[in-house]
Structure 1
Amino acid sequence: MWLASIFGIWTLWGIVWLALGLWANRTDVAVPARRQAVYRTINILAFALMFADGIYRRTPQGLRWTPFLPRLWHVPPSLGWLLALLALGGMILAIWSRLTLGKLWSAAVTRKEGHRIIDSGPYALVRHPIYTALLMGSAAIGLGKGTPTALAGFALMILGYSIKARLEERFLAEELGAGAYAAYRRRVPMLVPFAPPARG
């Protein structure tokens, strides 16, 4: 039941995200697609490993998810519901962050019309709260399923979004001013709240 709730949270997030995707300013400058191909490929593979590592089968007890590879562990319901809360918290953080960005949001690494550094709301906690939120939801899936494929997908999500965050920061420093962005980097950690921020 709790695992189905995590899937439901991801589905709801996807619907809301698609709707919010229509609300964005015109793109002024974008990082060339070839430079974005690495993180995009990693993230697509990560999602595939996390969500396509098993099938639902009909059993006498009802519809049951069955992994392709044996689970490394089984999560008790009490911990499973905590993971569902982690996924829900991640999705709330993602939507809050998206609303805070408003029309400056982009799925790719771009500079939007009127772009500026946003350092309020969730952006006062981490520089990339949407990525943090997605990693929270991915952790819930990977740890909840406990399969080698889902855990590999979670590890790839960490890698993919770390690469994207660094690419985005180099690009924004060039576009918005290295000094202003460096000051933001010194104040606010990249992905983990309360972690030591960057030096220099």
Structure 2
Amino acid sequence: MRVPDDPVVARLLVAAQGVLLVLLVVVPRRGGWPVPGVLAVLCGALVAVGLAIMLAAGTTLGRGLTATPLPNARAELRTTGLYGVVRHPIYSGLLLAAAAFTVGTGSATRLAVLLLLVALLTMKARWEEVRLARRFDGYAAYAARTRRFVPRWFRTTAGGGAGG
């Protein structure tokens, strides 16, 4: 069996992400929890924050921004600003917005879709990081000091530990 080329895999990952995002919005609300008004407002604000993070991170990439998780010819390794806080701020913003939307709707079915989205974005980020490490000499050192999605200052356990 032939292994698909990187561009094919990249497009499949983006397509799967798109399907999960559509499902997150369109699945009917089944099961779940009550959402008090203050929580709904807070979740709405967090959705806006997540979208703002995505916009700011995408703008930072400039012409290096691509629709797929493959660096294009204009890509540069960004390690400051939002990229100094997490390696994948676009994904972080997306996950914040998706989680806030899910909590704010009180939907167990949406929670299941959100968990699938977290798993997919984790896999997609790992896949992307292999390509970034091949492309940029400093990527391994950057990855060693910068978490993947959640900033270090959210860490609640003592001790070291790698990962993102």
Q: TM-score, structure 2 length as denominator?
A: 0.84
* Structure 1: runs of 5 or more not aligned: 1-29, 55-66
| Aligned residue among 65, 69, 74 for 1:109 | 69
RMSD: 2.0
Distance across 2 between alignment mates of 1:46 and 1:106: 19
| Aligned residue among 28, 34, 39 for 2:9 | 34
- Tell me how many residue pairs correspond in the alignment: 153
**Which protein has the larger Cα radius of gyration, Structure 1 or Structure 2?**
1
**Paired residue for 1:85?**
45
Distance 1:197 1:46, change over 3 A: farther
Kept in 2, the 8 Å contact 1:185–1:198? The answer is no
Greater share of strand residues, 1 or 2? Answer: 1
Distance 1:197 1:91, change over 3 A: farther
Q: TM-score, structure 1 length as denominator?
A: 0.70
Distance 1:31 1:198, change over 3 A: farther
2:39 matches 1:46: no
User: Which one-letter code corresponds to 1:33 in the other structure?
Assistant: V
Kept in 1, the 8 Å contact 2:88–2:125? The answer is yes
| Aligned residue among 173, 189, 194 for 2:147 | 189
Distance across 2 between alignment mates of 1:104 and 1:191: 20
Kept in 2, the 8 Å contact 1:87–1:140? The answer is yes
Distance across 2 between alignment mates of 1:185 and 1:198: 9
Q: Deviations over 1:139-195 (max 9, x none)?
A: 012111222221111111111111111011000111223xx1111011211100114
User: Which one-letter code corresponds to 1:118 in the other structure?
Assistant: R
Instruction: Quote how far apart the aligned CAs of 1:121 are.
Output: 1.1
2:88 matches 1:128: yes
Distance across 2 between alignment mates of 1:157 and 1:34: 17
Kept in 1, the 8 Å contact 2:10–2:69? The answer is no
3-state DSSP class of the match of 1:110?
A: coil
